[in-house]
Chain A
C-alpha cells in the first residue's frame, strides 16, 4: 500500500511538471469566445494604486467605445535587455512602447508591424510632424506611432542659478548661447556657490549619447555610407577633437565638474538632483528621473540647448508605441485605436480623460507640470491645445523657470537623427574617450579620437554584415 502511494505521488509529480512545461507553448487566437479582438498592452502597472486605477478606467472607456476589442494587461515594459529575447520567443505584448534610440534596430529586425495602411485608413495622412514621423519610418512605411517627443535642453538647478546671480528677478534664467558660455556659466557657479557648474556623463553609454549632439554642433559626422553600402567611421577630424577638448577643459582647465570619473545615467541624475552640479544636458521629461532623489519641482528648470560653432542641433528623445509584427490585421487596427486614447490629434473624451489622469499622477508624484513636449503633429491640433491649456492651468512651478525651453520647443533648432548603425557601440567607445580625458590631465584628445575611430571601424563597422 505504501509502495503504491509512493508511485502515485511520483507519477503525479511528473505529470504536473510536464503539464507546467507544456503550458508555456500555447498558441492564442486573436479572438475571444465573444468574437472580440484581443490585444495585450505592455507596461501595465502591477501594483494597486493610482496608475492601475487610471489604466483600468482607460480600458473601461475604450472597451465601451470599441465593443469589438478586449484589452488585456501585460506587465512587461520595454527594456533593451529583454526586448530581443521576448521578440524571438514571440511573447511581446500586442502594443508596446519603445524609444527613438532603439527603434531603427527594432524596425530592421522586423519586430514592429507596418502601420501605414491603418494610419492612412484612420485619416493620419499629413497629420504627423514630418521630422518626427521620419524617425518612425523606413522606406516610406510607418512602423511606429510617436506619442511623445522631447528634445534635449539644458536642465539647471534654480537655487544654484539664483545664488550665482544668473537669474532674472522674475525667475527667468540667463541662457548660455553656446558651449563657451556654458563653460563661463559653470565657472561663475563654481566661484559663487562652490558646487560643480555642470555634470557630464561618462559611462553606461550615456556619455556617448550626450557627446554626439555636442559633436554634431561642432560639425562632426560620425559615420558615412559608401556607394558599396559599406560604413566608414568619419569622426577622426579636428572638429571632433575640439569637441572632446571642450569636455576635457571642463575638468582640467575650468575645474567645474564633479570629481567622479565614472558617471552612468543613474549617477548623472543623482549628482544633479542632490545639488552637487548646477547644469546638465537633459530631455524635457527629466524631472521624472530626478524626483526620486528628493528634488522638488521648484528647484528644477530647463532652457534651450546651446549651439555649437558650426550648427545648432539637438536630439529627439521620447516615446513611441509599436505593434508587434505577430499581430493580425484586426489586432493592428484595434491597437492603433487603443493608442489613440493616449495620443490623438482630436481631443476625444478618451484622450481628455487619459491626459487628465496623467497630469494628476504627475502632480501627486511631485513631478514638474509646466514643461511642454514637442508636438508630434504637423500643426496645432485641438488635442495639443487641450493638453497645453491643461498644463498651464495645473502648472506647479514658476512658469518662467521653463519658459525658455517651452519657447525652444515651439521653435526648435535642427533635429538630428541618431547614428543609424552600431549606435550603442559608438556610445560605449565615446564613453571611454570621455573617461580618458577626465582621468588624465595630460590625455591627448587627438590621439584618443584617432584610436576610437579606428577601433569603431575595426571592431564594429567592418563587420556590420559579416
Chain B
C-alpha cells in the first residue's frame, strides 16, 4: 500500500513527463558540472588557505581580508564603477538612436541593418587588438595620424590613465551595440501603427512622435537593458587583459581582471583570494540581479 502511494507521488512529478525530464538531463548535468558545482565549491573554498587548487586549512575570513586590504583594491573597485559609469554615458543611447533611425529609414533599410550589425561579427580578441592598434600612442597610431592631419599633437590614448577606461568603453560600445540595437529595433517594429497615426492626426512631428509614442512604449525594455548593461560591464575582464594589461599603472584594472591575476598569474599562491574576490563580485551582482528580476516582473506586469 505504502509503496503504491510513493509510486503515485513519483508518478505525479515524473509520470507522463518522463521524456522531457530525460531530455533536459544533459543540460542539467553540464550546468551542474560547469556552473553550480564550481560556484558552490569556490565559495566554500574561499574560507580555506588554498595550495594552488587544493584546499588546505580553514582560515575563516582571512582571504577576504587580504583581498580588501590590498592596496590596489579600492582603486580597482572605483575603476570597475567607472567602467559602468562611462558605459552608461557613452554606450546607452547609440543602440536606441540607431534602432529608431533605421526604423524611420525608407530606403536601404535591410542593408543598413546588416552593415550596423557587422561589428558584432568580428571575433572579440581580434577586434580588441585592432582597436589597441588604432589607439597606439606613437605617431604611427591611426588616431594619432588623424590628429596629425589637423596639426594636433599625438595623444596617449590608452596609455593616458585618465582616458584608458573611456577608450576601452568606446570599443565595448562599438562591439556590443549591435545586439542591443536589434532588440530595440524589434520592439520599435512592434509598436502599433495606430498610435503613430493618432499622433499624426494630432499634428505631432517626428521628434514629438518619438518622445510621446516610441519612448514610452519602449521604457520597459530600456530599463531592463540598463540593468543588464550594468551587470555585464561590471564583469569586464578580457578588454583590459587584451588591450592594456590593466595599465597604465593599474588605471584600467577591473575586479574581474584582478580575479584573473589572483587565480592564474600567482603561481597558485592566491587562488583562495581569487575565490574570495569571486564571492565579493557575486554578492555585488546578486544585489543587482535581484533588482533586475524585480524590475523584470514589474515591466512584464505593466506592458
Shortest CB–CB separation between residue A12 and chain B, in angstroms?
10
Shortest CB–CB separation between residue B272 and chain A, in angstroms?
9
- Give me the interface of A with B, judged by CB distance under 8 Å: 3, 6-7, 10-11, 13-14, 17-18, 21, 80-82, 84-85, 87-89, 102, 105, 109, 202-205, 258-262, 264, 276, 422, 424-425, 428, 431-432, 435-436, 439, 455, 458-459, 463, 466
B249 & A432 in contact (Cβ 8 Å cutoff): yes
A455 & B66 in contact (Cβ 8 Å cutoff): no
Give the tally of cross-chain contacts (CB within 8 A). 116
Q: When chains A and B are docked, how far (Å) is the Cα of A198 from the Cα of B66?
A: 38
Name 22 A/B residue pairs within 8 A (Cβ), A-sorted.
A10-B22, A14-B22, A80-B265, A84-B268, A84-B271, A88-B54, A88-B268, A105-B268, A203-B244, A203-B247, A203-B248, A259-B137, A259-B154, A260-B136, A262-B248, A264-B245, A432-B249, A439-B156, A439-B249, A458-B69, A459-B71, A463-B66
B residues in contact with A459, CB < 8 Å: 69-72
A259 & B52 in contact (Cβ 8 Å cutoff): no
Q: When chains A and B are docked, how far (Å) is the Cα of A428 from the Cα of B245?
A: 11
Tell me which residues from 53 to 69 in chain B have a Cβ below 8 Å from any Cβ of chain A. Answer: 53-54, 59, 62, 66, 69
Report which of B18, B52, B159, B249 forms a contact with A260, defined as CB distance below 8 A: B159
Report which of B22, B53, B62, B245 forms a contact with A262, defined as CB distance below 8 A: B245
Tell yes or no: B220 within 8 A of A by CB: no
Report which of B33, B70, B161, B261 forms a contact with A21, defined as CB distance below 8 A: B33
Which among B154, B267, B268 has the highest number of chain A CB atoms within 10 Å?
A: B267
B residues in contact with A88, CB < 8 Å: 52-54, 268
Q: When chains A and B are docked, how far (Å) is the Cα of A206 from the Cα of B245?
A: 11
Q: Mark B224-255, 1 if CB is under 8 A from A, else 0.
A: 00000000000000000000110111100000
Closest residue of A by beta carbon distance from B164 = A262
B residues in contact with A105, CB < 8 Å: 267-269
Tell me which residues from 261 to 303 in chain B have a Cβ below 8 Å from any Cβ of chain A. Answer: 261, 264-269, 271
- Of B23-31, B83-91, B109-117, B194-202, the stretch lying at the interface with chain A is B23-31
Closest residue of B by beta carbon distance from A260 = B137
Q: When chains A and B are docked, how far (Å) is the Cα of A109 from the Cα of B266?
A: 13
The 5 residue pairs across chains A and B that have the minimum distance between CB atoms: A10-B22, A88-B53, A84-B268, A261-B159, A84-B52
Closest residue of B by beta carbon distance from A436 = B249
Shortest CB–CB separation between residue B143 and chain A, in angstroms?
13
A13 & B25 in contact (Cβ 8 Å cutoff): yes
Q: When chains A and B are docked, how far (Å) is the Cα of A463 from the Cα of B244?
A: 28
B269 & A435 in contact (Cβ 8 Å cutoff): no
A424 & B265 in contact (Cβ 8 Å cutoff): yes
Known contacts A87-B52, A439-B248, A458-B71: A424-B22 contact under CB 8 Å: no
A residues in contact with B29, CB < 8 Å: 17-18, 21
Q: When chains A and B are docked, how far (Å) is the Cα of A2 from the Cα of B144?
A: 67
B residues in contact with A18, CB < 8 Å: 29
Report which of A80, A259, A424, A435 forms a contact with B248, defined as CB distance below 8 A: A435
A439 & B53 in contact (Cβ 8 Å cutoff): no
A109 & B159 in contact (Cβ 8 Å cutoff): no
Tell yes or no: B139 within 8 A of A by CB: yes
Report which of A6, A13, A425 forms a contact with B266, defined as CB distance below 8 A: A425
A259 & B139 in contact (Cβ 8 Å cutoff): yes
Q: When chains A and B are docked, how far (Å) is the Cα of A459 from the Cα of B269?
A: 13
Q: When chains A and B are docked, how far (Å) is the Cα of A3 from the Cα of B62?
A: 56
A residues in contact with B136, CB < 8 Å: 260
Q: When chains A and B are docked, how far (Å) is the Cα of A109 from the Cα of B51?
A: 8
Tell yes or no: B169 within 8 A of A by CB: no
Q: When chains A and B are docked, how far (Å) is the Cα of A11 from the Cα of B53?
A: 35
A424 & B138 in contact (Cβ 8 Å cutoff): no
Tell yes or no: B19 within 8 A of A by CB: yes
Shortest CB–CB separation between residue B11 and chain A, in angstroms?
15
Tell yes or no: B178 within 8 A of A by CB: no
Closest residue of A by beta carbon distance from B33 = A21
Q: When chains A and B are docked, how far (Å) is the Cα of A463 from the Cα of B18?
A: 54
A262 & B244 in contact (Cβ 8 Å cutoff): yes
B26 & A13 in contact (Cβ 8 Å cutoff): yes
Shortest CB–CB separation between residue A455 and chain B, in angstroms?
5
Shortest CB–CB separation between residue A465 and chain B, in angstroms?
9
Closest residue of B by beta carbon distance from A205 = B265
Shortest CB–CB separation between residue B228 and chain A, in angstroms?
29
B269 & A202 in contact (Cβ 8 Å cutoff): no
Tell yes or no: B158 within 8 A of A by CB: yes
Tell me which residues from 73 to 88 in chain B have a Cβ below 8 Å from any Cβ of chain A. Answer: none
A259 & B138 in contact (Cβ 8 Å cutoff): yes
A17 & B52 in contact (Cβ 8 Å cutoff): no
A466 & B49 in contact (Cβ 8 Å cutoff): yes
Q: When chains A and B are docked, how far (Å) is the Cα of A458 from the Cα of B68?
A: 12
Q: When chains A and B are docked, how far (Å) is the Cα of A458 from the Cα of B25?
A: 49
Shortest CB–CB separation between residue B61 and chain A, in angstroms?
12
Known contacts A262-B159, A459-B71, A466-B62: A203-B245 contact under CB 8 Å: yes
A residues in contact with B247, CB < 8 Å: 202-203, 261-262, 431-432, 435
A residues in contact with B160, CB < 8 Å: 439
A17 & B25 in contact (Cβ 8 Å cutoff): yes
